[in-house]
Amino acid sequence: MVQTPSGGAGNGAAAAGTGLMSIGTVLSVLREEFPEVTISKIRFLESEGLIEPQRTPSGYRKFSAGDVERLGHVLRMQRDHYLPLKVIREHLDAMERGEAVQLPVLGRPGDDGDTAQESAAEGPTAARIGRGRLLAAAGIDERTLTEWESYGLLAPVEDGMYDAESVTVAGLITELGRFGIEPRHLRAMKAAADREAGLVDQVVAPLKRHRNPQTRAHAQARTKELAGLTVKLHAALVQAALGIRLP
């Protein structure tokens, strides 16, 4: 559960005496539960009408504790239930009306024939979703998914199932499309991601082949650590190339 700081005098980032928070403070609060959230993500959710922070006369965003709690609900529904924003908005509206909301559970047997599969090698986070669920979660049709697959942006991992991360990829492709960036433009990004993944695999390969089971288990943690560093480096290089600095 997202914990929101009080608006007392001890909270230097909150607007004095109002309990309102800057977007930077909101980011810090949310990252306790959602480490990957960014200011750009918060701004996007605002642009989609999921939150409506107040504005100062100079145009700065100021968020209430209720705004932060609502953001937490949105991020949780995306992370845990892979719901498109349209459906999330409907759920939030129902919650505000005091209606009981039943959220779908990823991989529940009997739901469109899809199940969450777990690999002993990858651990319990290796969720898998079927094609039908991916289409519904991403809010796209069969033709669109087929086009994305033709450019190598998405692909099933086994038995027609997709990694749950495919929902995130699909959402980002959709967001970029709002700016006129088409799937064919993203092939270079996919190629770069594949090269970065190959570099990480090369580094952890000796750990994966080690005779000691504990060392092999450590390979997964090292892979996640290296992946996080490469993502941060990639973002920093893009910002440097564009001559910008994201807040």
Cα–Cα distance measured from residue 77 to residue 105, given in angstroms and rounded to the nearest whole number: 10
Which range in 113-122, 158-167, 180-189, 202-211 is most confidently predicted, on average pLDDT? 180-189
Higher pLDDT, 228 or 106: 228
pTM: 0.51
| Beta carbons within 8 Å of 192's beta carbon, 6+ residues apart | 234
Residue 125 has pLDDT above 70, yes or no: no
**Given this model, what pLDDT does residue 5 score?**
53
Residue 109 has pLDDT above 60, yes or no: no
Cα 98 to chain centroid distance, Å, stands at 28
Instruction: Give the start-end residues of each E strand in 56-94.
Output: 61-62
Q: One-letter amino acid identity for 143?
A: R
DSSP state, 198? H
**Given this model, what pLDDT does residue 71 score?**
93
The mean per-residue pLDDT over the stretch 110-132 comes to 49
Residue 6 pLDDT class (50, 70, 90 cuts):
very low
**Given this model, what pLDDT does residue 208 score?**
79
Residue 246 pLDDT class (50, 70, 90 cuts):
low
Cα–Cα distance measured from residue 120 to residue 118, given in angstroms and rounded to the nearest whole number: 6
Residue 3 has pLDDT above 70, yes or no: no
Least confident among 75-84, 171-180, 185-194: 75-84
Both tokens assigned to 104? 């779908």
Instruction: Select from 200, 235, 234 the least CA-distant residue to 220.
Output: 200
User: Where do the domains of the chain lie, and which CATH numbers do they carry?
Assistant: 23-96 (1.10.1660.10), 107-181 (1.10.1660), 187-247 (no CATH)
Instruction: Give the start-end residues of each E strand in 73-207.
Output: 128-129, 162-163
Q: One-letter amino acid identity for 88?
A: I
Cβ(29)–Cβ(3) under 8 Å?
yes
Percent of the chain with pLDDT over 70: 81
**Given this model, what pLDDT does residue 127 score?**
67
The 10s digit of each residue's pLDDT in 32-58 is 888 888 888 898 888 888 899 999 988
Sign for the CA dihedral angle at 175, 178, 184, 188 comes to negative
Cβ(170)–Cβ(134) under 8 Å?
yes
Which range in 4-8, 115-119, 183-187, 243-247 is most confidently predicted, on average pLDDT? 183-187
Both tokens assigned to 129? 């979703």
Residue 68 has pLDDT above 90, yes or no: yes
Higher pLDDT, 78 or 149: 149
**Given this model, what pLDDT does residue 9 score?**
36
Cβ(186)–Cβ(225) under 8 Å?
no
**Given this model, what pLDDT does residue 15 score?**
47
Cα–Cα distance measured from residue 246 to residue 237, given in angstroms and rounded to the nearest whole number: 12
The 10s digit of each residue's pLDDT in 74-89 is 998 888 777 777 788 8
Residue 116 has pLDDT above 50, yes or no: no
Instruction: Select from 55, 58, 57, 33 the least CA-distant residue to 43.
Output: 55
CA dist list (Å): 196 to 142, 167, 218:
29, 21, 20
Both tokens assigned to 194? 């594949």
Residue 101 has pLDDT above 60, yes or no: yes
**Burial group, residue 180, by CB count within 10 angstroms (0-12, 13-18, 19+):** exposed
Specify the residue for token string 């990823």. 106
Both tokens assigned to 208? 């994966």
Least confident among 93-97, 112-116, 171-175, 232-236: 112-116
